[in-house]
Structure 1
Amino acid sequence: MTVSYSAGEGRESFDGAKAALFIGPRLLVIRRDDRPGIPHPGALDFPGGGREERETPEQTLAREMREEVGLEMGRAEMLWRQSFDGATRPGLVWFFVLRMGAGAEAEIRFGDEGQGWALMTPEAFLAAPDAIPALQARLGLWQAL
């Protein structure tokens, strides 16, 4: 299922973008850095991050995916996108669900943010006590559609 939005909706005023990226049947997750002063230290996270300058939500996500895991968002199939209130501060964030074919993990080149990456089932991510709760809720909402 692909969800579209009207021209300009949420594109001018937003803080960042995250994506649940399926590689085959499993999700790509990142273990956040474990240091004081950052939101959710050491938690399981999805690729994505904060907006720079006048990026669109898609541009923000594409840049973050390249920086964090070396994957090109343009190769992924868009399954869903939705705007939400920010998890750590007021403001709009975009959440995407994307899919790449099995084997795309061979192209991952982990960047310099986070402790590492893994592939896990969506059920394992939803049940993980150390996953970011807002991302669990967003993934669960998409699964319920």
Structure 2
Amino acid sequence: MTTTGQHDGAKVALFLGDKLVSILRDDIPTISYPNLWDLPGGGREGDENTFQTVARELEEELGLVLPSEAVLWESAFRSVSEPTAWVAFFVAQMPPESADRIVFGNEGQRWDLFDFDHFLALENRVPSYGARLQKWVAQTGGLPR
């Protein structure tokens, strides 16, 4: 995919140890993907780069500061909501005890930690994450051992 111009947003598949953190979206029919398990992230603000967008969103949603060295992989994907735009998708890993520092923000119903395969098998998760995560595994082999 060729990317031109600013990204629309960024998401992160954040592993705390070997568990993937996810947020259950609000159950409001007027939002995208109501009541589905989502990954932290959101829309770009101003002239943010992709990392600034995902780091800000993670801090707003879960109170976690994402160190740049935690990023394992980044890729660009066509936006699902705006076909002419692109979004960044990160995979990152932080220590498992980072879960103790989570402060849940004001978006979503709750957060939880999932085994990777369990998250992929969820029927009520944002659909595009399956292909994105499978691309990461195909290119990298998955989490470092």
| Same-fold call, TM cutoff 0.5 | yes
Determine if the alignment matches structure 1 residue 71 to structure 2 residue 29. no
User: Which runs of 5 or more residues in structure 2 are unaligned?
Assistant: 140-145
What is the rounded CA distance, in whole Å, between the counterparts of 1:53 and 1:24 in structure 2?
Answer: 32
Instruction: With the length of structure 1 as denominator, give the TM-score of the two structures.
Output: 0.90
What is the rounded CA distance, in whole Å, between the counterparts of 1:122 and 1:52 in structure 2?
Answer: 30
Among 102, 106, 109, the residue aligned to 2:100: 106
**Runs of 4+ more than 3 Å apart:** 9-12
Matched residue type, 1:51:
R
Identity %: 43
Q: Number of aligned pairs?
A: 137
Query: Equivalent residue for 1:134?
Result: 128
Q: CA RMSD in A?
A: 1.5
Query: Equivalent residue for 1:59?
Result: 52
Instruction: With the length of structure 2 as denominator, give the TM-score of the two structures.
Output: 0.90
User: Which runs of 5 or more residues in structure 1 are unaligned?
Assistant: 1-8
What is the rounded CA distance, in whole Å, between the counterparts of 2:26 and 2:65 in structure 1?
Answer: 23
Query: Equivalent residue for 1:94?
Result: 88
Matched residue type, 2:74:
R
Query: Equivalent residue for 1:17?
Result: 10
